[in-house]
Chains A and B, each alone.
Chain A
């Protein structure tokens, strides 16, 4: 069974602060995929990143960075110099490989972290 835990229900920061959103996962698959999605107040899901289990390189995209550590089963997301526009719910998700029986391509989502960035 797969499980994704986002222990932080809500985080409030002041603009320009750095903030890290935690994600811990559980899976029996040796090949798996991790994701982060952003859900702004308008409600749509915005894909941010996908990381393969065999690629532990950290990634940076502008003010966003991701730290993938298989040893601790974590895939944390950091926003540097946060802005009001970053206010949203952020979801971490996990999927197995498509070749696994039982629909390996299904996404298992965490419960989300509500990020509020204030002026």
Chain B
């Protein structure tokens, strides 16, 4: 079974609808991240959470909100979806313990979201 799972894997929705993308992990990691990928722009950080009570905005948080329901779950919500939020969304996790000053991020398989 995959360590980082994302649901749904694909979603088509209409402008104005509320959408929730879910991420679950079995790695026991404290840190979780949401990234967005657009063609020609690479991946950009939306939100990140270092533990259940610590949530931080990334570089492109406008139009998004998140919820860290438990250590293993980190959800991304689009309160009122718009077409320019059409993108590939990735969840990632990393450990909190310090090893060599960096902890590898493990990515989920991605959710392809289309807003019509």
Contacts and interface: CB of A to CB of B under 8 A. Distances in A.
A12 B77 CA distance: 38
Contact of A9 (B35, B40, B43, B44): B40
A9 B50 CA distance: 33
Interface string B83-101: 0000010101010001011
A111 B41 contact: yes
Interface size range of chain B in the complex: 20 to 34
Interface of B is mostly: strand
A91 interface: yes
B112 A43 contact: yes
A57 to B, nearest CB: 15
Contact of A112 (B42, B94, B102): B42
Interface of A: 4, 6, 9, 31, 33, 43-45, 47, 50, 52, 91, 93, 95, 97-99, 103, 105-107, 109-112
30 contacts: A33-B101, A43-B109, A44-B107, A45-B90, A45-B107, A47-B107, A50-B102, A91-B42, A95-B102, A97-B101, A98-B98, A98-B101, A98-B102, A98-B103, A99-B98, A105-B94, A105-B102, A105-B103, A105-B105, A106-B33, A106-B48, A107-B33, A107-B92, A107-B105, A109-B35, A109-B43, A109-B44, A111-B40, A112-B40, A112-B42
